[in-house]
Chain A
């Protein structure tokens, strides 16, 4: 069964609003979670590394004030897309795992900004 869950699976919002996406590890504690974004017919692009109890580490070119990450517990990380615009429409996926060599992806969240 699934070991990583995401919620919601899809969301449609108006431009300028904020959207929160949750990523949960179901069977293990996750001190580190990763957030990816995937545009249609493109590969996954790592956005940031979420660290439990400390600040997230963002990849170059990713605005940390726009993509807020909170990793408040060992089983939950959240990504908030603030003031979303149509160009933020994408497939957002988290990944985590019980070990460095066993990283599982969540089912993804499809965001559409109108």
Chain B
């Protein structure tokens, strides 16, 4: 079982819709969770991180964490064609190292 699992997609949504990206993880002791966006041929950009159960909002983005169910999601409101990218979920293990473990990413396509 992979530590971080994501559906590869593509997830296709119309412009203006809410895009919902999901991620599950296997280690209950994982502490922090991150969402990155990666455009083709570019390096990942940090969108936001979350470490407490519940929701965390930043502009059009909302991260949701449910530790009991071991999933973390990212909602993108008012999706724009420029949001079309691969979204990477990552976690930090409980071993207190700084390193991040990444999922394989979900490709999002926002149709104009």
Q: Using a CB–CB distance below 8 Å, which chain A residues touch chain B?
A: 32, 34, 42-44, 46, 49, 91, 93, 95, 100-108
Contacts and interface: CB of A to CB of B under 8 A. Distances in A.
Contacts of A44: 44, 88, 102
Contacts, number: 47
Contacts of A42: 104
Nearest to A48: B99
Contacts of A102: 46, 49
- Interface residues of B toward A: which range? 20 to 34
Most buried by B among A42, A43, A107, A108: A43
Interface of B: 32, 34, 36, 42-46, 49, 51, 88, 92, 97-105
Contact of A49 (B42, B92, B99, B103): B99
A43 B105 contact: yes
Contacts of B42: 107-108
Nearest to B100: A103
Contact of A105 (B32, B44, B92): B44
10 contacts: A42-B104, A43-B102, A46-B102, A93-B44, A100-B32, A101-B32, A101-B51, A105-B43, A105-B46, A108-B43
